[in-house]
Amino acid sequence: MSGIDALAARIRADLGPDQVLTDRQQLRTYECDGLAHYKVIPALVALPRTAAQAAAVVRACAAAGVPFVARGSGTGLSGGALPHADGVLIVTSQLRDILEMRPADERAVVQPGVINLQVTQAATPHGYYYAPDPSSQQICSIGGNVAENSGGAHCLKYGFTTNHVTALEVVTPDGELVRLGGAAPDVPGYDLVGAFVGSEGTLGVATEVTVRLTRLPETVRTLLAAFHGTDQAGAATSAIIAAGVVPAAIEMMDALSIEAAEAAVHCGYPAGAGAVLVVELDGPSAEVDAQFDEVTALCEKNGAFEIRVAADDTERQLIWRGRKSAFAAVGRISPDYIVQDGVIPRTALPEVLRRITEVASSQGVRVANVFHAGDGNLHPLVLFDDRVPGEAERAETVSGAILDLCIEYGGSITGEHGVGVDKARYMPRMFSDTDLDTMQLVRCAFDPDGLANPGKVFPTPRLCGERPGRRQGAFEHEGAEVF
């Protein structure tokens, strides 16, 4: 019996025969996540139904020295759930129960396979919702959100997944079930919940997630402001934040993404717009009404030539439809595209957008911009046609140059999609060797054998078991500047 066959037999014994897949056709279903140009077929897939079963799978992997990768719904865009060819893929989709719903305490306890939107659906009758809202919220899992510290349009006001998870049960890479964090606002000891959220599967597998529930706002008001170009829309964004208003969301689309959305869903955005902002305010009616007037005035002052206010929920949905469809809609105007994800200081928006256009022009490719303007989280869509020789390479060049711009302006190589397999090579542009070594101290502490999602996040896995050499004077900050 080969090593994998023996492992499969052990896991079958623990989980039951139906919970382990080894048939190549079945395995192929899991060969990629949302970043579909990376494909690897795993050696086997395990589908635990309980936390104890998940721990048993990890223990079996640890005993056999076989790598493992956890996967939720597989919607990630950085290849974080890309399988390992000689490893086990642990699919959490059968850990799908909402274990507790405690609105009076503003907490819910869910299994990792629960779909993001289901938490909100279960909380809504009690007057609450789960705030982080990735675009994929109808299908992405809470476990995946934890791994990638997922964001969404409303993270400007409400923060990322890390701000909404207060406790975790996780399987450590040696197969132990431990509790991290608690429900109190400040739990003693190290904040390992914070370290685990966003660790992209490299510190273990979450088996239970305690999330904060957020009170449904009394009022939500949404407007669409049309500008002649992104400079004006960027200036309006900065002006709104500078005025002390924190909208629930400020989303920007440029001319090319408007064109794509229009072609796909006929959202009827104002003709001739070089950029639009979708601004949403929520909260107590008294506050929202006052701030809404302020936002409207600031948009006008910064050059908005048309402002539409959603009169009801239907109109609100219509405004959002264009924004939410934009990624898919780009398929209407380009056969292929790369979704990039980077962060810049909000105040640098107009300048960076201009420079992205310059880079794109120099390579003869087009870039559509549709993004979370409020927190400077860019999502440039680099368009190309894979059938045209050299075009994919030029698109890759532009995509990489955009990350360099993000770093140059003091931002980050990822806003919410994670590093995964896709951006590990960019980490040294943002962090010094010493900084990366320090992060990997934690990796080595939890996973000395490097079995938990190897090859993700870190460009060069460091050998565990030794402290990094002390480099006198080697301290050099290549990282993010303040913004």
Q: Should residue 439 be labelled a site residue for a second copy when binding is judged by CB under 8 A? A: yes
Q: Should residue 124 be labelled a site residue for a second copy when binding is judged by CB under 8 A? A: no
Span 400-429, contacts to a second copy by CB under 8 A: 410-416, 418-419, 423, 427
Pairwise CA distance, residues 336 & 205, whole Å = 33
Pairwise CA distance, residues 194 & 181, whole Å = 9
Pairwise CA distance, residues 58 & 7, whole Å = 11
Look at the chain and count its residues. Answer: 483
- Min dist. Cβ of residue 35 to a second copy (A): 15
Nearest CA-CA partner of 202 in 443, 26, 421, 10: 443
Closer residue to a second copy (CB): 322 or 454: 454
Q: Should residue 186 be labelled a site residue for a second copy when binding is judged by CB under 8 A? A: yes
- Taking CB under 8 A as the binding criterion, the range among 79-87, 98-106, 133-141, 356-364 that sits at the site for a second copy is 98-106
Q: Should residue 481 be labelled a site residue for a second copy when binding is judged by CB under 8 A? A: yes
- Taking CB under 8 A as the binding criterion, the range among 27-35, 100-108, 135-143, 363-371 that sits at the site for a second copy is 100-108
Q: How far lies 475's CA from each of 117, 435, 479, in Å?
A: 44, 9, 12
CB 324 within 8 A of CB 135: yes
- Min dist. Cβ of residue 233 to a second copy (A): 18
User: How many amino acids of this chain bind a second copy (CB under 8 A)?
Assistant: 101
DSSP state of 378: E
Token reading at 341: 């994800």
Contacts of 390 (CB under 8 A, 6+ apart): none
Q: Should residue 234 be labelled a site residue for a second copy when binding is judged by CB under 8 A? A: no
Q: Should residue 438 be labelled a site residue for a second copy when binding is judged by CB under 8 A? A: yes
Closer residue to a second copy (CB): 322 or 400: 400
3-state secondary structure of 389: coil
Cα-based torsion angle of the residue sequence 423, 377, 161, 197 in order, rounded to the nearest 10 degrees: 30
Q: Should residue 190 be labelled a site residue for a second copy when binding is judged by CB under 8 A? A: yes
Span 32-61, contacts to a second copy by CB under 8 A: 59
- Taking CB under 8 A as the binding criterion, the range among 88-96, 196-204, 315-323, 383-391 that sits at the site for a second copy is 196-204
Closer residue to a second copy (CB): 166 or 334: 166
| 3-state SS track over 192-239 | HHHHHCCCCCCCCEEEEEEEECEECCCEEEEEEEEECCHHHHHHHHHH
- Min dist. Cβ of residue 154 to a second copy (A): 13
Q: Which residue has the tokens 């980490």?
A: 427
CB 307 within 8 A of CB 225: yes
Pairwise CA distance, residues 367 & 357, whole Å = 7
- Taking CB under 8 A as the binding criterion, the range among 101-109, 253-261, 272-280, 306-314 that sits at the site for a second copy is 101-109
Nearest CA-CA partner of 340 in 321, 324, 356, 363: 356
Closer residue to a second copy (CB): 274 or 455: 455
Token reading at 127: 């007057």
How many separate helices (H) and strands (E) can be counted in the chain? Answer: 15, 20
Token reading at 77: 């865009």
- Taking CB under 8 A as the binding criterion, the range among 7-15, 39-47, 180-188, 267-275 that sits at the site for a second copy is 180-188
- Taking CB under 8 A as the binding criterion, the range among 37-45, 189-197, 326-334, 355-363 that sits at the site for a second copy is 189-197
Q: Should residue 434 be labelled a site residue for a second copy when binding is judged by CB under 8 A? A: yes
- Contact mark string toward a second copy, 250..289, x via CB under 8 A: ---------------------------------xxxxx-x
Contacts of 345 (CB under 8 A, 6+ apart): 376, 409, 410, 411, 483
- Contact mark string toward a second copy, 327..356, x via CB under 8 A: ----------------x-x-x---------
Closer residue to a second copy (CB): 42 or 112: 112
- Min dist. Cβ of residue 137 to a second copy (A): 17
From candidates 92, 340, 377, 399, binder to a second copy by CB under 8 A: 377
- Contact mark string toward a second copy, 139..168, x via CB under 8 A: ----------x-x---x---xx-xx---x-
